[in-house]
A = this chain, B = another copy of it.
Amino acid sequence: MTQLTNAKNNILTDEMRLVAEAEKLSPETVCTLIREGRAVIPANNRKKRALKFCGIGAQMKTKVNANIGTSQDYCNVDDELEKTRVAIEAGADAIMDLSTYGDIREIRKRIIAESSVPVGTVPIYEAVLLKRPSNEHRSVLETLTETDLFDTILKHAQDGVDFITVHCGVTHAIIKHVQSNPRTGGIVSRGGTILGEWMKLHQKENPLYEKFDRVIEIAREYDLTLSLGDGLRPGAIADSFDYAQIEELKILAQLAERARLADVQVMIEGPGHVPLHQVQAQVLLQKSLCKGAPFYVLGPVVTDVAPGYDHITSAIGGAVAASAGADMLCYVTPMEHLGLPQAEHVREGVIASRIAAHAGDIAKGIESAIEWDRKFSLSRKNRDWDAMIANALDPQKPAAFRKMRKPQKESVCSMCGQLCVYALANGEKVL
């Protein structure tokens, strides 16, 4: 039984009740949103461990996902467990283990055991990694089979993964189109690139597209939420809203419909690199084409030229996307486009993304978000520094900054001193 099966039968599950409480909605509303495919609760039904459930979709607070995981260059499970803790402590609502090196299954199991929030994965990374050791004489892409892909997905479901990215919309036809119509940034999704190269080599259709029913079958059994990946997402500002992106989105909309009919929870992944004036349109198009399916965007970053600051470029795009209706933001760390992030970059990425999500929530009209700011500003007017620090989106930084630049007079700050507007307006004889 999946959450969607229950919703279709008007059965209120514990997960729905907990999400309803967190979102200040009625359980009935949550149930309706899930039934309509406008919200999901990623929660693998075989997982024993208590989970902080995460509702993603309409009327709910915008969520933040943090990607962690090993790479060929930095492959240490303890580092990734540390990043998991840091991300969750900083307020991430979900974690994706994108490990691409080492004993991926073991790493995944340990991250799932560590995480109090839902865990997502991209199974194809493991599928290609497993082919490597025994086949040095042939390339991985040559030896990789359809069966490998489905077997890996099944394994992830069995391990308790809550949601998976599957690039089911990368069709042979789109890949051919991109070959004859080169993009500025090319194809930047790793999963999309692997499938694209595999299809070109074998001259076959994408198995995840052609045999989507097999994906659905596994997902339904474990209530594994499908996150339909945008393998053709723009990876350069110049490629946003191009034919390949939109053709794939159209296919994802059709696949989402099939998933929902089969009681499988589904969300849609979105870009990527998008110029600021197109961000709202990206969300509106997805929402319309995909009939309100939750939209999970990566950034979007609003310029290509600021590596080292992509937590900021993506906070800009993410805030606008959220305000337009995006439901979950995949964080981007300052290390994006440059290397594998360390724990400190994970933290910065989560905070920046939470700022974007919160700015979006105010714009979405979410009462608790609006109230947070109102109360906070009253503390500011009252110069209640303890309350400001305690209730800040991240208390650590303002606490450290205030210590770093202490004022002589504790009631004000060292920016304005005797010109503190609140002291002046309060009739204190500071001038």
A394 and B339 in contact, given A184-B377, A303-B359 (Cβ under 8 angstroms):
no
Residues of B within 8 A of A302 (CB): 319, 359, 362
Interface contact B236-A380, CB-CB below 8 Å? yes
Interface contact A238-B374, CB-CB below 8 Å? yes
- Interface residue A243 (Cβ < 8 Å from any Cβ of B): no
- The residue that A306 contacts in the complex, of B194, B308, B370, B394, with Cβ under 8 A, is B394
Mark out the residues of chain A between 306 and 346 whose CB falls within 8 Å of any chain B CB in the assembled complex. 306-309, 311-313, 315-316, 319-320, 323, 334-342
Q: How far apart sit A363 and B406, CA to CA, in the bound complex (Å)?
A: 40
Residues of B within 8 A of A418 (CB): 72, 100
Residues of B within 8 A of A50 (CB): none
Q: How far apart sit A47 and B415, CA to CA, in the bound complex (Å)?
A: 30
Interface contact B237-A362, CB-CB below 8 Å? yes
Q: How far apart sit A308 and B338, CA to CA, in the bound complex (Å)?
A: 25
Interface contact B355-A313, CB-CB below 8 Å? yes
Beta-carbon nearest neighbor of A275 in chain B: B362
Beta-carbon nearest neighbor of A403 in chain B: B339
Beta-carbon nearest neighbor of A378 in chain B: B184
Residues of B within 8 A of A308 (CB): 392, 394, 396-398, 400-401
Residues of B within 8 A of A388 (CB): 307
- The residue that A309 contacts in the complex, of B194, B237, B394, with Cβ under 8 A, is B394
Beta-carbon nearest neighbor of A426 in chain B: B186
Residues of B within 8 A of A363 (CB): 275-277
Residues of B within 8 A of A429 (CB): 139
Q: How many copies does the complex hold?
A: 2
Interface contact A417-B319, CB-CB below 8 Å? no
Interface contact B362-A309, CB-CB below 8 Å? no
Q: How far apart sit A360 and B313, CA to CA, in the bound complex (Å)?
A: 11
Task: Report A195 CB to chain B, min CB distance, Å.
Answer: 11
Residues of B within 8 A of A212 (CB): none
Instruction: Mark each residue of chain A from 365 to 406: 1 if its CB lies under 8 Å from any CB of chain B, else 0.
Output: 000001011101110110000001001111011101110111
A415 and B197 in contact, given A276-B363, A305-B373, A351-B309 (Cβ under 8 angstroms):
no
Residues of B within 8 A of A416 (CB): 71, 100, 190
Task: Report A335 CB to chain B, min CB distance, Å.
Answer: 6
Task: Report A17 CB to chain B, min CB distance, Å.
Answer: 28
Mark out the residues of chain A between 237 and 274 whose CB falls within 8 Å of any chain B CB in the assembled complex. 237-238, 273
Interface contact A141-B185, CB-CB below 8 Å? no
- The residue that A304 contacts in the complex, of B184, B309, B380, B400, with Cβ under 8 A, is B380
Beta-carbon nearest neighbor of A140 in chain B: B431
Interface contact A100-B417, CB-CB below 8 Å? yes
- Interface residue A356 (Cβ < 8 Å from any Cβ of B): yes
Residue among A311, A363, A425 with the highest chain B CB neighbour number at 10 A: A425
Interface contact A377-B415, CB-CB below 8 Å? no
Residue among A74, A125, A132, A302 with the highest chain B CB neighbour number at 10 A: A302
Instruction: Mark each residue of chain A from 210 to 250: 1 if its CB lies under 8 Å from any CB of chain B, else 0.
Output: 00000000000000000000000001111000000000000
Beta-carbon nearest neighbor of A374 in chain B: B238
- The residue that A338 contacts in the complex, of B307, B376, B398, with Cβ under 8 A, is B398
Beta-carbon nearest neighbor of A322 in chain B: B276
- Interface residue A32 (Cβ < 8 Å from any Cβ of B): no
Beta-carbon nearest neighbor of A141 in chain B: B431
Q: How far apart sit A311 and B355, CA to CA, in the bound complex (Å)?
A: 11
A–B pairs, 8, beta carbons within 8 Å: A72-B408, A197-B424, A276-B320, A277-B363, A305-B393, A312-B315, A312-B355, A338-B402
Interchain residue pairs A-B with the least CB separation, the first 8: A72-B417, A308-B397, A339-B405, A236-B377, A73-B414, A277-B363, A140-B431, A302-B359
